[in-house]
Amino acid sequence: MSFSSEKTTSKRGRLSRSGADVDAASRNVQLKRELGGLSYEEQRARLQPNSDSPIQMRSDQAASATSGPAGAGGFGAIGRLFNRMRGPDEQPNETVESVDVNLSEQVTGPIGRLFNRICGVDENQTDPAGLSFGDAELQSYLKEELQMAEGEMFRGTKLKGISKKLIGDLDMDGDGRLSWDEFKAFEGQVLERLAPGPDSSASAGEMEGAASSRYSELAGGDGALGYGELKQGARDQLPEGTKHLSLIAQLAARITLDALDTDERDKPVAERTLSQEEYLDGAREITKRQKSMG
Ligand SMILES: [Ca+2]
Ligand SMILES: [Ca+2]
């Protein structure tokens, strides 16, 4: 009897091990199916760490079973979950695409690539899940990549002030970090500077016309728009008596150059120039993304 009982136990043990894989796979299929009918926001809400939904338990289990550092936050866990659902050899299929890719939510365009760079990830990746930056990442970007206020007095204080202001202006949930959802509001502000005049209802053609005349106005006809010209242009656009006028104009000029320049990325920002093509391509890409948000 005892022999038979041991045999049953060990058999059950084997069964439950192989059964676990089957369970995980069928849970993933079911999760995909359930998320497929939801909007992106609903999917995120469904996968929130504090949700009471039974799906949350499944996503926790799936995420904790993957390799990689733990405790990277709820959205990081979601990103790992989607990766796991897709599998290393599996090509993205329509079901998965409809779950995690929503054009207007994608991290794309010049400001999307900028966001990726500040976050320290591949600038051409498009998935917003799990990505955000805080004061440390932003200050490091301002200092190392933009060379903001280089050689100026009180540089540290200036960098700290800019970072605090930028994050404070866009941080909607007050967690001190900017997600893509929050940072993309900055994109509209950039477009207003690149193509001043038309409002958001303007056609893509009208936007392009406005960008084209703004470029000619700033660049002065030599086919190259440099740091000094951009800074002067930003200065002229700001209301008189604006606090920290010079610093804000400098920031606008450096961000514009870093976001739109494509052929001089190896040079310090202040030595790069924008061709008309770079300027218009950037404005066009931003316009397209803005229009996709409706
Ligand atoms: Ca935030
Ligand atoms: Ca260039």
One digit per residue, the tens of pLDDT, for the chain of length 294 reads 444 444 444 444 444 444 445 455 555 555 555 555 566 555 556 555 444 444 433 444 443 443 334 333 333 332 232 333 333 444 444 444 344 456 688 999 999 999 999 999 999 999 999 999 999 999 999 999 999 999 999 999 999 999 999 999 999 999 999 999 999 999 999 999 999 999 888 999 999 999 999 999 999 988 899 999 999 999 999 998 999 999 999 999 999 999 999 999 999 999 999 999 999 999 999 999 988 887
Sign of CA dihedral 194, 198, 204, 208: negative
Ligand 2 centroid–CA 263 distance in Å is: 5
pLDDT of residue 287: 94
Q: Is residue 74 a contact partner of residue 133, using CB atoms and an 8 Å limit?
A: no
> Residue 274 pairs with which residues in a beta bridge?
225
Q: What angle do CA 270, 276, 280 make, to 5 degrees?
A: 105
Ligand number nearest to the C-alpha of 265:
2
Backbone angles phi, psi at 290, to 5 degrees: -60, -40
Ligand 1 centroid–CA 181 distance in Å is: 9
Ligand number nearest to the C-alpha of 177:
1
Sign of CA dihedral 128, 130, 133, 137: negative
* Burial class, 121, CB count within 10 angstroms (exposed 0-12 / middle 13-18 / buried 19+): middle
Residue 142: alpha-carbon gap to chain centroid: 17
Ligand 1 centroid–CA 128 distance in Å is: 13
Ligand number nearest to the C-alpha of 256:
2
pLDDT of residue 37: 56
Ligand number nearest to the C-alpha of 169:
1
d(CA 130, CA 116): 12
Domain ranges, ordered by start, for the chain: 2-101, 109-292
Ligand 1 centroid–CA 131 distance in Å is: 11
The tokens describing 31, both together, are: 């999760």
Ligand 1 centroid–CA 283 distance in Å is: 26
> Residue 132 pairs with which residues in a beta bridge?
179
Ligand number nearest to the C-alpha of 263:
2
Ligand 2 centroid–CA 264 distance in Å is: 5
Ligand 1 centroid–CA 180 distance in Å is: 9
Ligand 2 centroid–CA 131 distance in Å is: 28
Ligand 2 centroid–CA 274 distance in Å is: 4
d(CA 118, CA 145): 9
Ligand 1 centroid–CA 119 distance in Å is: 13
Ligand 1 centroid–CA 135 distance in Å is: 11
Q: Is residue 226 a contact partner of residue 273, using CB atoms and an 8 Å limit?
A: yes
> Residue 226 pairs with which residues in a beta bridge?
273
